[in-house]
Homo-oligomer: A and B are copies of this chain.
Amino acid sequence: MSKKDPLTREQVRDINAWWRAANYLSACQLYLLDNPLLREPLRPEHLKRSIVGHWGTCPGQNFIYTHLNRAIVKYDLDMIYISGPGHGGNAIVAQDYLDGSYSEIYPNISQDTEGMKKLFKQFSFPGGIPSTASPETPGSINDGGELGYSLAHAFGAVMDNPDLIAACVVGDGEAETGPLATSWHSNKFLNPITDGAVLPILHLNGFKISNPSVFSRLTREETEMFFKGCGWEPRFVEGDDPEQMHQKMAAAMDWAIREIQRIQEYARSSGSVERPRWPMIVFRSPKGWTGPAEVDGKPSEGCWRSHQIPIPVWDGKPGRVEELETWLRSYHPEELFDQQGALIPRLQELAPKGDRRMGANPHANGGLLLRDLRTPDFREYGVAVPQPGAVEAQDTQVLGGYVRDLIKRNLKSRNFRVFGPDVTSSNQLSAMLQATGRRWTDQPEEEMNNHLDQDGRVMDAMLSEHMCQGWLEGYLLTGRHGFFTCYEAFTRIVDSMVAQHAKWLKVCRQLPWRQKIASLNYVLSSNVWQQDHNGYTHQDPGFLDHVANKKADVVRLYLPPDANCLLSCFDHCIKSRNYINVIVASKHPRPQWLTMDQAVKHCTQGIGIWQWASNDRGVEPDVIMACCGDTPTLETLAAVTILHHYLPQLKIRVVNVVDLMKLQPHTEHPHGLTDEDYDAIFTKDKPIIFAFHGYPTLVHELTYRRHNKNLHVRGYKEEGTITTPFDMRVQNDIDRFDLVIDTVMRLPQLGNSAAYLIQEMKDKLIEHHQYITTYGQDMPEIRNWAWNEGKGIYLD
């Protein structure tokens, strides 16, 4: 110990004792059913029969956590802990247990011998808790079961939380994932005045499951250059001697906290947002540190072999229990816990108090902090629709006006942001930029500055769906609001992230102490049905299918057919809690169908018969023409117009679906119609021609239990690329002409008049094909048909 060392001998002793306690609890969670404090010799019956979980990451994370605690106390920090490496759940739980935050939430897991026994048993045990930093873990907002999102979550958490520091441990395995790799650049979008700070700690554990990690095998010079290139100032803490490492870590931590404070104080006093070089720590320690050095004569500590269970107690080899006991006793639990099993007072004093404990920090249970948004009256943004189809509008453009004012009203409360991968303009939501700018700390020369703003609410300056998703998740999980606007096809890039968030929400609903958070909302546009500058690669409506498979009490899917319906749906979603809401919307000029009053009613019901387009009043229809999505609605109404014209005696019922889950039985989804209500709309046996926005199979999947099996769904079938909007529909058989053909083919009673109409429709298709291959655009009459030719039927 030298004079320059930041810690006294006593501090080292105590900090090391806390670390030993945390490591002891982490190891025992893997193995023990009983004899929690080793008050008697360890015997096989004290052990779980099935030993599952991970050890390798725990001691390093415990080391970091312990030193963060010291910094919290020393500097009175508001800090949360994000565990990136995955499967370190037993370490975080151990820390929560030591500082008391665990027992406050789970009184059965008390801070005594009995509670400790339960603590050990529940880990990776039926009815217990997972091995990750799962929702059950106090203080966690990042499960880590799927790797790669810790840093994005950390940045989301500190946005608009100027006093918060998110300490984010990045695993060196995790650091190899794509999403994590690009997360380092998030620092370009952090405002040191109005946002908090992220303190990344790269945990160089050396190994993954079986392989070394990439970052652990870079040269130190490369590592330093890499992080400096990403705009960080790294400091290295490396070694395996605990005493030296405590001193080094304390010094690095003091430096990092002071750097953060210096940067923030400078920015906040000077008003300058010039991008600072934020501190970070590179922490290299042996994997499975303090675990058995060798097992069966092969290295365990410091090696990939310590990844999961270092000592396989049930492999039948003699002496295993003794080996385990030696390891566990090496932490000297008798020095750490008193007779009742409580942490000794000297160590208790080390912990931060109350909400300062990372397991009790309210930011990590964001619902506690969630405040309602101030919302404008969405009805005031509606499009006047004198009669169905009489006017055109661009749905997302209309929504943009509402969002603009939503942003304005919540500028002061700083709890609402919009996220997207540079598609604000493309998705026609630019009106937002009248109220705020695009977040970027660096400012380009003025004439190149397209609404960049150092304090903007629109996070659309990074071309990464992963970042948008991760930031937004972090923002929501810490008690704020927002939505993600994306090209529909490219939400697939974050399929797995969305699935993980759905899992998180599902578990949270079962935990009464987890307060509800704002819903994860999507506004997806630039959808499959009109591509313009893009093509086949930009066509994928399957995000709906993906989300539909998730737990029914978490997911909601909306396909508003026009601007007024979009406003109504969006307003509903943005006020909701604990859901994943997917809205698929149109951005192109399209006829508008419903007045605002009608739209509100329609969206509230979620599904409805459009009487004004139907001619089956008072009788059972011959056919149901159903539609869901803006383009299918347009084509269905055009087809109905044609049918009314040619076959006025045919009784057609037009059904529009906004809330897709209405199709599922109410026993499967809370929004689902009862069979009675479904049959009242769709009949039990009349043909249903269903034009759907996405893959047809999704409608079949949702309706397979329904009585009416006479269902014929048209939707996207992976056809069409660069072509006209109408030709996209033709290539997927969802255009008006094909819908008419499809309909009359299901009605044998029509006889010759069907054959005539089919020929007419085929002629139209040929005529159109000739036109587009000559001129490259749709025949003008195609666009207008629905409401010019057929306006007679659009009486309300």
Contact = CB atoms under 8 A, between A and B. Distances in A.
Interface of A: 33, 48-50, 52-54, 87, 121, 124-132, 134, 143, 145-148, 173-174, 176-183, 185, 188, 207-214, 217-218, 222-231, 298-299, 303-304, 308, 422-426, 438, 440, 442, 444, 447-448, 450-452, 460-467, 489-490, 492-493, 495-496, 499-500, 503, 506-507, 532-538, 540, 542, 545-546, 548-551, 695, 697-698, 700-701, 704, 709, 718, 721-724, 727, 772-773, 775-777
A208 B463 contact: yes
A477 to B, nearest CB: 15
A132 B422 contact: no
A593 B76 CA distance: 64
Contact of A701 (B223, B489, B701): B701
Nearest to A535: B130
Contacts of A147: 463
A352 to B, nearest CB: 29
Given A127-B773, A222-B231, A721-B130, A53 B533 contact: yes
B448 A212 contact: yes
A481 B777 CA distance: 42
A178 B130 contact: no
Contact of A496 (B228, B490, B533): B490
A143 B535 CA distance: 11
A534 B503 CA distance: 14
Contact of A422 (B209, B438, B444, B463): B209
25 contacts: A50-B777, A121-B776, A126-B723, A126-B727, A126-B776, A127-B773, A128-B722, A146-B489, A146-B493, A173-B422, A176-B185, A176-B467, A177-B466, A178-B179, A181-B181, A210-B426, A211-B460, A227-B229, A229-B229, A493-B495, A500-B537, A507-B721, A546-B546, A549-B695, A701-B701
Most B C-beta atoms less than 10 A away, residue of A125, A452, A506: A125
Given A226-B229, A229-B218, A299-B448, A536 B503 contact: yes
B492 A535 contact: no
A182 B176 contact: yes
A178 B466 contact: yes
Contacts of A145: 534-538
A130 to B, nearest CB: 4
A121 B298 CA distance: 68
Most B C-beta atoms less than 10 A away, residue of A49, A426, A451, A464: A464
A218 B277 CA distance: 12
A780 to B, nearest CB: 11
A495 B490 CA distance: 10
A773 B125 CA distance: 8
B212 A49 contact: no
Nearest to A223: B229
Contacts of A143: 537
A399 to B, nearest CB: 18
Contacts of A438: 210-211
Contacts of A124: 533, 535, 722
Contacts of A54: 533
Given A182-B178, A182-B181, A507 B533 contact: no
Contacts of A121: 776
Contact of A209 (B49, B217, B423): B423
Most B C-beta atoms less than 10 A away, residue of A146, A545, A695, A721: A721
A704 B132 CA distance: 39
Nearest to A698: B701
A214 B229 CA distance: 12
A562 B507 CA distance: 33
Given A125-B776, A464-B176, A208 B549 contact: no
A788 B360 CA distance: 52
A227 B229 CA distance: 8
Contacts of A182: 176-178, 180-182
A217 B444 contact: yes
A132 B537 CA distance: 9
B492 A499 contact: yes
Contacts of A222: 228-231
Contacts of A127: 723, 772-773
Given A53-B533, A444-B217, A464-B178, A131 B499 contact: no
B214 A188 contact: yes
Contacts of A130: 534-537, 721-722
Contacts of A546: 495, 542, 545-546
A507 B536 contact: yes
Contacts of A125: 722, 776
Given A127-B723, A130-B537, A495-B546, 10 more contacts: A33-B776, A49-B775, A130-B721, A173-B463, A176-B463, A178-B179, A227-B229, A499-B540, A503-B718, A507-B721
Most B C-beta atoms less than 10 A away, residue of A230, A298, A551: A230
A490 B146 contact: yes
B178 A177 contact: yes
Nearest to A214: B185
Nearest to A495: B495
Given A52-B533, A299-B448, A210 B178 contact: no
Most B C-beta atoms less than 10 A away, residue of A173, A188, A452, A718: A718
A46 B580 CA distance: 49
A223 B229 CA distance: 6
B535 A212 contact: no
Contact of A700 (B226, B499, B700): B700
Nearest to A726: B126
A252 to B, nearest CB: 20
Most B C-beta atoms less than 10 A away, residue of A146, A447, A777: A146
B422 A208 contact: yes
Contact of A450 (B179, B211, B495, B698): B211
A196 B700 CA distance: 49
**A-B pairs, 8 with minimum CB distance:** A145-B537, A226-B229, A178-B178, A130-B535, A225-B229, A181-B182, A181-B181, A492-B496
A231 to B, nearest CB: 6
Contacts of A185: 176, 181, 214
A130 B722 CA distance: 5
Contact of A492 (B178, B495, B698, B700): B495
Contact of A462 (B33, B214, B224, B425): B214
A424 B210 contact: yes
Contacts of A426: 209-210
Most B C-beta atoms less than 10 A away, residue of A224, A438, A496, A537: A537
Contacts of A492: 495-496, 499
Nearest to A145: B537
B178 A463 contact: no
A444 B287 CA distance: 15
A777 B214 contact: no
A304 B444 CA distance: 12
B507 A422 contact: no
B223 A718 contact: no
